[in-house]
Amino acid sequence: MLFGIGLGVFFNFPHKTVVFNEASEREQKLRQIINYIDYEYVDQVNTDSLLDQTISELLHHLDPHSTYIPEDQVSASEESIRGSFVGIGIEFKIYNDSLTVVQVMPDGPSAKAGIIAGDRILLADTVQLFGPSLNSQKVLATLKGVSGTSVKLGLFRPAENLHLEIDVKRGEVGLNSVSSYFLLNDSVGIIKLTKFTARSAQEVRRSLRDLQNEGAKNIILDLRDNPGGLLAAADQIADEFLSKGQMIVFTKDRQGEIEEFYASRRGYFEKGGLAVLINRGSASASEIVAGAVQDHQRGIIVGRRSFGKGLVQEEISLQDGSKMRLTTQRYYTPSGRSIQRDYDTYDQAYYYHGNTGSEQSSDSTVLLPEETELKERRNIGGILPDVEVGYDTTSSTRLLYHLAMTVNLDEQAFKYVDERRKELALWQEDSFVKHWQADSTVLESFFGKPVTERIVKENELELAILKNRLKAFIAYNRFGTRAYQRVYALDDAYVQEALGALKEKEWNTAD
């Protein structure tokens, strides 16, 4: 038993020895309080849940990013970091109380079994998957499982008025962090990276290789709304763009010990035009990549000031199967900038949602590796872009916002596609993106005839953008994320600014 306890302490806290007897009085106090609540409190209380809340609140008071993961959420957290899960490989939505397949993941278990977009899954073995009580939690609990196990699905295929029974063998399904990559024109490719997982560097390398084989001389790396992830993934991805020996990031712990990360090998795209797109939703690992690119003047940062998360968390396993992510280091860009926003007296709502302007007047705080204290001035944090994209206040944006408030555009797009699957099946993605147009008939299917007539009459100049956005929603529900982003990019202000910046700057593309 003593040997087992010793192993547990060693593996959970690899950096230092933790002496538990020093904290025994505090532990006993907490245990005593829980016991009193268990046996003496006037009402029945779930003290396990209460303890989870207490731990979360305790960590919340340290900093905004130290967090507690209850045991029942550990599996989902690990899937997100790993970049894969065990399931049947579909993207679904609950539509009219039915479990409806929106997309089938290529080469996944469902694709191999013959399931297609638009199928309704009515039964999984004996579990009913339709009706007003259906929710996402029930769907996930039913369809996920152990790799190699089978589930018998009862399907209805509306396009053919056909009922089917299909056995699907659960398997490992990749959660792609590169949601899409494609050529914008003959020489510029774009990669949309949504998070930093254990698979991300491999996905980015494949994207870079394929785009260069298709003729890309310039790359736009889209990190908008990418909340970050693994530090190792950020290090590996930045390595693809920087020359060997260039610093990517360095971290510093409470003892002042510094760990430095450098580009270590020949990357897939060390030369050629590079633009990185960021916004308020770009955080953590996204800011490491953007900061390294900016400090070495390797590319152009386009967009709006990023979030400002410069803290590194270590994941620690607890004895009951739960986990804790504890902030153990700060990180700094190669020039010594700490991009972490101030949080000493932060209000959580303000920290995450306030202060959203561009704040051009101040940049991140600088800390050189040999310094021991942060400079004393307010730190707005984040990465300030080289080319700022302003907030769109045009009438077309106001029109889109108003319509989106009155009509669920994604829901209507799904309905539009679902009712026309045979017709839309004749279109291939490339021809759809280049040639299909949203006409007045499409507008009427979304908004009705009276509203459409008013839009056409009163908003003639904004119609092109509105039609393109509707086309993007339809493309997503017919072909998937890649088609959506190809269409959306046609009038995306960030992408257009990046294209202009790449055109203005000359790049050395020689090998």
Q: Residues 16-57: pLDDT tens digits? A: 444 445 557 878 888 888 899 899 889 998 988 898 998 999
Strand partners, 325: 67, 315
pLDDT classification of 371: cutoffs 50, 70, 90 = very low
Q: Residue 457 pLDDT more than 80?
A: yes
Q: Which region among 228-237, 353-362, 375-384, 493-502 has the lowest average model confidence (pLDDT)?
A: 353-362
Report percent pLDDT > 70 for the chain.
87
Q: Higher confidence at residue 297 or residue 344? A: 297
Q: Residue 120 pLDDT more than 90?
A: yes
Q: How many CB atoms lie within 10 A of CB 339?
A: 30
Q: What is the mean pLDDT of residues 452-466?
A: 83
pLDDT classification of 352: cutoffs 50, 70, 90 = confident
Q: Residue 7 pLDDT more than 60?
A: no
Look over the chain and give the mean of its residue pLDDT values, rounded to a whole number. Answer: 87
Pairing of strands 150-157, 120-124: antiparallel
Edge-first strand order for the sheet with 218-222 is: 178-183, 188-193, 218-222, 273-278, 300-303, 387-388
Q: Residue 131 pLDDT more than 60?
A: yes
**Sole residue written with tokens 């996905």:** 203
What class does CATH assign to 84-174?
A: mainly beta
What is the reported pLDDT for 65? 93
What is the reported pLDDT for 4? 41
Q: Residue 374 pLDDT more than 60?
A: no
What is the reported pLDDT for 9? 35
What is the reported pLDDT for 509? 56
Q: How is domain 178-388 classified at the CATH fold level?
A: 2-enoyl-CoA Hydratase; Chain A, domain 1 (3.90.226)
Q: What is the pTM of this model?
A: 0.87
pLDDT per residue as tens digits for the range 375-434: 334 457 899 999 999 887 666 677 877 888 888 999 999 999 999 999 999 999 999 999
Ranges of beta strands (E only) in 134-224 are 150-157, 162-169, 171-174, 178-183, 188-193, 218-222
What is the reported pLDDT for 363? 47
Q: How many Å apart are CA 167 and CA 224, to the nearest integer?
A: 39
pLDDT per residue as tens digits for the range 218-269: 999 999 999 999 999 999 999 999 999 999 999 999 999 999 999 998 899 9
Sequence-ordered list of residues with C-beta below 8 angstroms from that of 167, at least 6 positions apart, any chain: 113, 150, 151, 152, 153
Strand partners, 150: 169
Give the CA radius of gyration of the chain: 26
What is the reported pLDDT for 394? 63
What is the reported pLDDT for 497? 96
Q: How many CB atoms lie within 10 A of CB 105?
A: 18
Domain with CATH 2.30.42.10 in the chain: 84-174
pLDDT per residue as tens digits for the range 151-178: 999 999 998 999 999 999 999 998 899 9
Q: Residue 316 pLDDT more than 60?
A: yes
Q: Which of 367, 270, 355 is nearest to 305 (CA)?
A: 355
Q: How do the residues of the chain divide into helix, strand and coil, expressed in percent and rounded to 5?
A: 40, 20, 35
Residues in the chain: 511
pLDDT classification of 462: cutoffs 50, 70, 90 = confident
Q: Higher confidence at residue 335 or residue 395? A: 335
Q: Which region among 54-68, 350-364, 488-502 has the lowest average model confidence (pLDDT)?
A: 350-364
Q: Which sequence positions are flagged as catalytic?
A: 284, 295, 309
Q: How many CB atoms lie within 10 A of CB 477?
A: 24
Q: Residue 149 pLDDT more than 60?
A: yes
What is the reported pLDDT for 23? 55
Domain with CATH 3.90.226.10 in the chain: 178-388
pLDDT classification of 346: cutoffs 50, 70, 90 = low
Q: Please, how many CA atoms are within 13 Å of residue 5, restricted to the half-sphere of its CB? A: 5
For residue 41, which phi and psi values (nearest 5 degrees)?
Answer: -65, 145
Q: Which region among 39-53, 282-296, 475-489 has the lowest average model confidence (pLDDT)?
A: 39-53
What is the reported pLDDT for 368? 46
